[in-house]
Amino acid sequence: MDSMQTFREAVANPLAYAEEYHRTKDRPLMGYLCSYAPEELILAAGLHPFRLFGARGNIHRADAHLQSYCCSLVRGVLEEALAGKLGFLAGVIFPHTCDSIQRLSDIWRLQAITPFHADLVLPVKLNTESAKIYLREVLSRLKSELEAWRGITITEDDLRGAIAVMNRVRRGLQDIFERRSVSPGILSGADLQSIARASFLLDRRELSDQLARIGDDLRGKGNGTVDNGRKRLVLAGGFCDLPEIYGIIEEAGADVVGDDLCTGARAYGGMIDEDKEPLLAMTERYLTRPCCPAKHQGLTGRGEHLLRLVREKEADGVVFTWLKFCDPHAFDYPYLKAFLDQAGIPSLVLELEDQLPGEGQLQTRFEAFIETI
Amino acid sequence: MENKEIPKIRAVKRMKEIMTAYYIEAKTARDSGKKVAWITSGGPVEPLIAMDIIPVYPENHGAMIGASKMGVDLCQKAEAMGYAPDLCSYARADIACAPIDGGPIGGLPRPDMLICCNNICGTVLKWYEVQARFFGVPLFILDTPFCHTAFTPEAKKYVLCQIKEYIQFLETTTGRQFDHDRIKEVGRLSLQAQRLWQAVLDMSMNKPAPLSAFDAFFHLALIVTLRGTQIAVDYYQELLAEIRERVDKGIGAIPTERYRLLWDNLPVWYRTKWLSEKFSSLEACLVADTYTSAWCGSLKYINEDNFLDSMAEGYSRIYLNIGIDEMAKEIIGMIDKYQVDGLVMHSNRSCKPYSFGQYDIQRIIREQTGIPSLIIEADMVDERNFSEAQVDTRIEAFMELLGGNKTALAG
Ligand code: SF4
Ligand code: SF4
């Protein structure tokens, strides 16, 4: 499968992919850090949305700006920027989510790291009418900022075109994840993870074609039954930068059959209504897609979503994972765990420190957990 | 050095009485048929006062826990409940208190409702969600969009709309009508108290400064908990008169004031005495701070004749809800105003929005004013993150540097 090869390469070396893109395509690259970044607007402005994952380990330049008790994503992205590795970026868009990204945005702006910088100050509530109105206006402001900077007009058709592309991307991802959830054997965990990751990096039009092709290839594979005797797990949490987690869990004897991660289903969940006014339709997706813990959609929304997910995917357990120092996720964990406990669903928590644990060590932990299920 | 005894600020006793009475009233609210609302420190309390709802501040509770050195134990309890040790220690301590009525006052009175304004951080949103689930009471979130570079018209519209929603929420929760005349009076009292508080802090422009940031940390309690009441106004009037008297007599907060410093971030509650004595022994007075002045910093946006509406802007543009360049600007303003020689920044593991960006603020201050700064690594409540030896050495070294600067300037 040659698409798979493209994905693996891009994921193994995202910066090389970005540089190549920068050299060969006429779409300037627009960086972003969070699943609430409006990729549709970026595309419609003639730009390429490129998600930043940050450098792992050996962070020292960022130390001049951020304390050690800041999460490794925020520190890692700043490190890459200060090391001059993000020269291909025309700009970065910072959606307002957590306190750490909020301050990274300030630092980024003051250091004038990229020619273009925008804050998308989203509402924190995603469940009221006034928040909905405000959110639409915030998107509209970003649209004007992009237009002014690029000297263009983003027409309604441009937006509709971009929405169609992103809908196609999301449909493709949903389809692959769904098929793979039913028959985990049809695609390795490592490849699934590469697909999820690559979807934040690759040219979205090409990506939508590639995803459709992969989906077609998967059709007809597998026996379509859930029961293959192996344990089924759901991954839940935040930004997951453990590159091999799907593979390690697989080695340990279980399959990841669903997720609630910002590098997974939260990003590709929810479709945009193509019949509605574009900004309004985008707004509505934000209000209905699975919610990030830095946002508010009721007191138990995330717990209910997780339970629903576990049942829908017929999962046997949940692995929670988030980066150390990530407040929003650390705050939600006890209540989410209590939800699972009450329903008799076992869970394991894996907080990712700056230094990743060795693969062997992780596999042992997963094996021990899987045995208890 | 002459070591004369500094007379204690008399108002301290009055403050303790007021706070005791306040907590007794709050704890017996059920008997008196009043409702209790928990509210964040930066939240709009005036509508609660106007509705005769007793506001209770978990953050003030957190400060008391820290000052009474009960923080580590409670934080550990929260960790046993599954909360990561990297979370804000106010939140951890308060969450751990709730099920066991722990802490120095045997727990806070149970809330009938929760009011969370995210103008200080994202932590309060999560913290209040936890408590809303625990107590099973309604939560109102006043969402004040972060002002990186501006308070946009759409943000203003959004917050204004939420002020109306807030009033409706209070009416629904209490089953009573909101009194629009009463809020004018409460707003007026709130403004008056804030102006008085600013006037108290301004007294430190005098040399020697009649009160230090450590005094301000203590006298702050009422502007947080009781602004909008006559009690707060009376208290700050009394305090202001007393501080004026000290200025007239030339009494300084420390016996010999040689250095004037500015404190940034929350106090280190379990070590205020030690820090105060440390700086005092080095003839340094913390003449001002960014923390206690946050409760009067957005006075400029408030319109007395239209308090309710202007609240939207006032509460959105407070110190922690603005970009670090604007924060630096405010600090520079304070450096000029209070004639500060050095900046002491508390890098507070608990408070990410207050601490991230400090290094850049430090740089901006250095570039624009030449004022040196010191960073102290600590936490406001969780003592496990404090190393006395390390902080001691850093303070000594910093003061030596300042001493060198002063001598060089004088020479
Ligand atoms: S991992 Fe958590 S703290 Fe870090 S950027 Fe994401 S939400 Fe913020
Ligand atoms: S200390 Fe900081 S993080 Fe904690 S509640 Fe206060 S502002 Fe929020």
Q: Give the model confidence (pLDDT) of B15-50 as tens digits.
A: 999 999 999 999 999 899 999 999 999 999 999 999
Q: How far out from the chain centre does Cα A367 lie?
A: 26
Candidates B144, B146, B168, partner chain A, best to mutate (most A CBs within 10 A)? B146
Task: Say whether B152 and A70 touch across the interface (CB within 8 A).
Answer: no
Strands laid side by side in the B36-39 sheet: B54-56, B36-39, B113-117, B139-142
Candidates A82, A99, A122, partner chain B, best to mutate (most B CBs within 10 A)? A99
Please state, for a pLDDT cut of 70, what percent of chain A lies above it. Answer: 97
Please state, for a pLDDT cut of 90, what percent of chain A lies above it. Answer: 85
Tell me, what's the pLDDT at A316? Answer: 97
Burial class (CB in 10 A: 0-12, 13-18, 19+), B95: buried
Q: How close, in Å, is residue A246 to chain B by CA atoms?
A: 25
Tell me, what's the pLDDT at B3? Answer: 45
Give the pLDDT band of residue B8 (cuts 50, 70, 90): confident
Is the pLDDT score of B361 beyond 90? Answer: yes
Tell me, what's the pLDDT at B87? Answer: 98
Quick: pLDDT tens for A171-202.
999 999 999 999 999 999 889 999 999 999 99
Average model confidence (pLDDT) for chain A? Answer: 93
Q: Dihedrals φ, ψ of A331, to 5°?
A: -70, -35
**Please, what's the b/e burial string for B269-286 (b: 16 or more CB within 10 A of its CB; e: otherwise)?**
bbbbeebbebbbebebbb
Please state, for a pLDDT cut of 70, what percent of chain B lies above it. Answer: 98
Of B186, B187, B34, B55, the residue nearest B115 (C-alpha): B55
Of B292, B312, B328, the residue nearest A106 (C-alpha): B328
Is the pLDDT score of A358 beyond 90? Answer: no
CB B349 within 8 A of CB B355: yes
**Axis crossing angle, helix A204-218 with helix A156-182, rounded to the nearest 10:** 30
Quick: pLDDT tens for A215-273.
999 988 876 665 567 999 999 998 766 768 888 899 899 999 999 998 889 999 999 99
Tell me, what's the pLDDT at B90? Answer: 98
Query: How long a stretch of residues is chain A?
Result: 373
Residue matched to tokens 């309690």: B221
B133: closest chain A residue by CA: A299
Task: Say whether A109 and B132 touch across the interface (CB within 8 A).
Answer: no
Mean pLDDT (whole number) for A296-321: 96
Mean pLDDT (whole number) for A66-94: 96
Tell me, what's the pLDDT at A242? Answer: 74
- Looking at all shown ligands, the one closest to residue B350's CA atom is 2
Of B375, B341, B356, the residue nearest B262 (C-alpha): B341
User: How many Cα atoms are found within 13 Å in the side-chain-facing hemisphere of B68?
Assistant: 15
Alpha helices in A202-244 (DSSP H): 204-218
Least CB–CB distance from A130: residue in B125, B162, B355: B162
Mean pLDDT (whole number) for B337-363: 98
Considering only CA atoms, which residue is closest to atom 3 of ligand 2?
Answer: B351
Q: How close, in Å, is residue B34 to chain A by CA atoms?
A: 26
Opening angle at CA B96, ends B95 and B98, nearest 5 = 70
Mean pLDDT (whole number) for B314-320: 93
Least CB–CB distance from A99: residue in B121, B129, B165: B121
Q: How far out from the chain centre does Cα B60 lie?
A: 9
User: To 10 degrees, the CA torsion angle through A140, A145, A149, A152?
Assistant: 20
pTM tops 0.80, yes or no? yes
Quick: pLDDT tens for B264-277.
999 999 999 999 99
Quick: pLDDT tens for B202-246.
999 999 999 999 999 999 999 999 999 999 999 999 999 999 999
Q: Dihedrals φ, ψ of A169, to 5°?
A: -60, -50
Residue A10 Cβ inside 6 Å of ligand 1? The answer reads no
CB B234 within 8 A of CB B197: no
Residue A239 Cβ inside 6 Å of ligand 1? The answer reads yes
Which of the two residues, A1 and B49, has the higher pLDDT score? B49
Tell me, what's the pLDDT at B408? Answer: 67
Give the pLDDT band of residue B2 (cuts 50, 70, 90): very low
Residue A328 Cβ inside 6 Å of ligand 1? The answer reads yes
